[in-house]
Amino acid sequence: MINLYDLTRPEVSALITGWEFSPVHAARLWRYLYGECESSFEAMPELPEKVRTRLIAETTIDVLPISLETDSNDGFTRKYLLSLEDGNRIETVLMRFTGRVTACISSQVGCAMGCVFCATGQMGFTRHLTTGEIVAQAVHVQRVLRTLGAETSDIDSNHDPRSHRLRNVVLMGMGEPLHNYDAVLKAIEILNDGSGLSLGAEHITLSTVGVVPGILRLAKEKKAIRLAVSLHAATQAGRASLVPAARKWQLDELMAACRTYSETTGRRIFYEWTLIEGENDTEQHARDVGSLLRDLPSQVNLIPLNPTTGYDGAPTRSEASKRFQQILSEEFKIPSTFRQRRGIDIAAGCGQLAIAEK
Ligand code: SAH
Ligand code: SF4
């Protein structure tokens, strides 16, 4: 059986016309899949019976059933534990800040990179997700948003209609997206399709731990997505102790790849820095990262450490965090932002995704 979420629009078209049906039906099917987010062929009345019969016989629409759904206390974050066909589970997070709806989606079950402070890294690697499983998470979130809209719900207090459409996707859930390059890039192509979910490339952010060959490959892609690189330390030794993958892709090699990426694409990179008290948050650390990024088009995203069971570091206090940011901006003219801390109470914050069952 073919999972339709695995196919790009041209592939859906080739499938339908290969069965000698009109391409008009392929366009309709695509609209049902991504415009309406339909999950049942019965709910596609504009497709002739003979097309539907063939689809039912040879294809599936693999929605991911919800195992668990949790809302954060502030109501801004909702976390879904979704089941995969083989019994594995992944987490997908819906974040709703005023006028801005973002889905944080997973690219793997677990992660092989083993970052010490990350709950996904602590669980180890199980397997890559397929394109269809990555796409299905975004469709799931879009379907949820539609339902909320139909219920005249106050998804946010302004009843902002934009809140009912998925606008942004961040590949920052479970897994290392560049370790699953082909499936992820194909999923991005599907999400980006103008007659489907129509997520603009600039609204899709891919975050990587620093997989150098992946960054170099991405530099040559036509898609203008946003790239975020998890740095966390500005020296090879400091980085290797937090991010084991840095032993394989060393800091100088990583920075050279980032430079190539920015030069080739003309785009800046977002550098993520998880602030851990006493580990990477002193004034000296701020100056080290400032010097490292000095002549690169960059923005730094500061993320105060979120708690995970396998690591007992503490988040940097607010005073020191502000000082860190001030050094970047005043001494190095590097813009930086603090990642909003949302969903921590339901372990939906950065680095907290594992398969929690409660
Ligand atoms: N694998 C990718 C994307 C997923 S993690 C990557 O590592 O970039 C998304 C971001 O959350 C990364 O910057 C990661 O370093 C950060 N992160 C991981 N664990 C965290 C934690 N406990 N607290 C705060 N940020 C964390
Ligand atoms: Fe994997 Fe990213 Fe977590 Fe590191 S921070 S273990 S790369 S998911």
pLDDT reported for residue 159 = 52
Which residues sit with their C-beta closer than 6 Å to ligand 2?
111, 113-115, 118, 120-121, 175-176, 209, 351
Alpha carbon nearest to ligand 1 atom 3, residue: 172
Catalytic residue among 91, 133, 176, 279: 91
pLDDT reported for residue 99 = 67
DSSP labels, 38-80: ---GGG-TTS-HHHHHHHHHHEE-----EEEEEE-TTSSEEEE
pLDDT reported for residue 75 = 82
pLDDT reported for residue 156 = 46
pLDDT reported for residue 151 = 56
What are the per-10-residue average pLDDT scores of the chain (358 residues)? 98 98 98 96 97 98 96 89 96 84 96 96 96 98 85 48 80 97 98 95 97 98 95 97 97 98 97 97 98 97 93 94 97 92 77 70
pLDDT reported for residue 342 = 73
pLDDT reported for residue 148 = 80
Q: Please report the domains of the chain, with CATH numbers, ordered by start residue.
A: 2-60 (1.10.150.530), 66-346 (3.20.20.70)
pLDDT reported for residue 343 = 81
- pTM listed for this prediction: 0.95
Residue 203 DSSP class: G
